[in-house]
Amino acid sequence: MEAIAGGAQFRFMPAGHILGSAFVEFYFANGERILMGGDLGRYDTPIIKDPSDVDFAEYLVIESTYGNRLHPEGNAKEMLAEIAAEIDRNQGILLVPSFAIGRTQELLWYINELESEGRWPGFPIYVDSPMATASTLLYQEVEEDHDKDMKIVMDEGNSPFRQDMVRFVRDRQFSKQLNSSPGPWMVIAGSGMCNGGRILHHLGAHLDEEDTTVLFTGYQAEGTLGRQLLDGAEQVRIFGREMDVRADIRRMEMLSAHADYSEMLRWLGGFKEQPKKTFIVHGEPDASLAMKQHVEEELGWTGVEIPVQGERFELS
C-alpha cells in the first residue's frame, strides 16, 4: 500500500489489458474503498496474466468500450497460418499495421507457436517500429507480469521474441531498403491505424501490388487510412501521391485487448456483493448505456450510474 494526502492509501492490481496496465484501489480513512477499473483485459490471452479477481469494493468505476459488443469468434493463429502459407506460395509481402504495445507481441506469440509446430513457412519477419521494439524488450524482461505459458516458454529458451525468429529494425535507412527486397517477407509496423509511422513507407511501396496482403489486427477509426482500406477504397493518398489499391486487404477481428461485455460481466460476477455505487465510463453513449443495462439486468445490481463530464457524486 502507498499513502497519499488525507489519510488514504492505494495499491495497483494487474488489469490484464496490456503490459503494466492496472486497476487502482483506493482505501479511505473511514475504511471504505473505491476501485478505479481502467481498461479491463481479456481472459486466456497470451503472455500476460488475466485480470485480477476482485470480490468487493464500496464504489466501482468501470469502462464500457465494448459495452454493446461481443468479440467475433475465430482462431487468430489458424488465420495467420493460412495467410502466411498464401504469402509463401505467391512469393508475396505481408504488411501488418499494428499497435506497438500488446498487439505486436501477441502476433509474435502466435508466429512462435506456428514455428514450433513446423507450420510457419520460414520467410523473414521484421518488426519495424522503434516503440514496438522497445516495448517488446520490456515484455520479455517483466517476469512478474508473465502468465504460466509465457513463463514456460521463457524457461525453455523459446522466447517468442528471440532474434533468430524475428528481426527488430532500428535503422530508418534499412526500413526503406527493405521495400526493394523480393518476397516473401512480413513486416509488423506502426502505426496501427496507418495514420503515421513506418508502415506508410511500406504501403507506399507495395499497396498497388497484387501479391501484397495488408492484414489489419485492430480497430480502425473513422478518417484514418486504415479505415479507408477496410472500407474498400480503390484509391488512397500516401505522401501526397494517389495510389491504386491492388493489395489483398484482410482483417483479423478476433484480436482485442479490451474485454467485451460478456467478459466484463464475468469479472463483475466475482464480486461477493454489489458496490454501493457503480460508475460506467470510457465508452460511446450507446455502449455505456448497454453496459448499464447488462449490469442491472444480468447481475441485478442497483445504483449504477453513467456520469457526465463535471458531474459530482457524494460517496457516503
Listed as own residue / partner, the contacts of 304-309 with beta carbons closer than 8 Å and 24 or more positions apart are 304/277, 304/278, 304/280, 305/277, 305/278, 305/279, 305/280, 306/279, 306/280, 306/281, 307/279, 307/281
Could you report how far apart the first and last alpha carbons of the chain are, in Å?
23
Any residues with CB less than 8 A from the CB of 131 and at least 6 apart, and which? Answer: 100, 101, 190
Q: How far apart are CA 230 and CA 130, in angstroms?
A: 25
The CATH class given to the 76-251 domain equals alpha beta
The domains of the chain are located at 2-70+257-305, 76-251
At the top level of CATH, the class of 2-70+257-305 is alpha beta
pLDDT of the chain, 316 residues: tens digit per residue: 777 777 889 999 999 999 999 999 999 888 899 999 989 999 999 999 999 999 999 999 999 999 999 999 999 999 999 999 999 999 999 999 999 999 999 999 999 999 999 999 999 999 999 999 999 999 999 999 999 999 999 999 999 999 899 999 988 889 989 999 999 999 999 999 999 999 999 999 999 999 999 999 988 888 999 999 999 999 999 999 999 999 999 999 899 899 999 999 999 999 999 999 999 999 999 999 999 999 999 999 999 999 999 999 988 7
Prediction pTM value: 0.90
Instruction: Check if 2-70+257-305 and 76-251 are the same fold.
Output: no
Task: Read off the C-alpha cell for 199.
Answer: 508502415
Other C-beta atoms closer than 10 Å to the C-beta of 107 total 26
